[in-house]
Amino acid sequence: EAGVTQFPSHSVIEKGQTVTLRCDPISGHDNLYWYRRVMGKEIKFLLHFVKESKQDESGMPNNRFLAERTGGTYSTLKVQPAELEDSGVYFCASSQDLGAHGYTFGSGTRLTVV
């Protein structure tokens, strides 16, 4: 079984540019989560999809962040325009069942905004 796949693994962009991160969850997993770890801080929840619907987007920092999950398969997280404070590692996770029984994380995308 393939794991949670994220790409790119690294992205360096200039302030003001747009970046799109992609997450492919484990096949059949309806629940997809995005998290972010900013340097020196804890991993923080961004949002949760159940299939194609946003179940909880309480952690999205502001309207520069847009997450989609068309068709309930892969998800994208777009940052437009990127700011310096958006730098960090963005993790995606997926699970089959609803509920925090522990889920599988992807390897993350390290975003650097310069």
Partner 1 sequence: QKEVEQNSGPLSVPEGAIASLNCTYSDRGSQSFFWYRQYSGKSPELIMSIYSNGDKEDGRFTAQLNKASQYVSLLIRDSQPSDSATYLCAVPPGASNTGKLIFGQGTTLQVKP
Name the site residues for partner 1 (rule: CB under 8 A): 4, 31, 33, 35, 41-45, 48, 55-56, 59, 91, 95, 98-108
On the question of a cis peptide bond just before residue 61, with omega within 30 degrees of 0, the verdict is no
Nearer to partner 1, 2 or 101 (CB): 101
Q: How far is the CB of 102 from partner 1 (least distance, A)?
A: 4
Query: Which helix (H) or strand (E) segment is 19 a member of?
Result: strand 19-24
Minimum gap (Å) between residue 80 Cβ and partner 1 = 25
**Residue 80 or residue 112: which is nearer to partner 1 going by CB?**
112
39 close to 33: Cβ distance less than 8 angstroms: no
Among 7, 4, 86, 95, smallest CA distance to 49 is for 95
Our CB check for partner 1 shows the closer of 71 and 102 to be 102
Q: Which residue has the tokens 């179940």?
A: 55
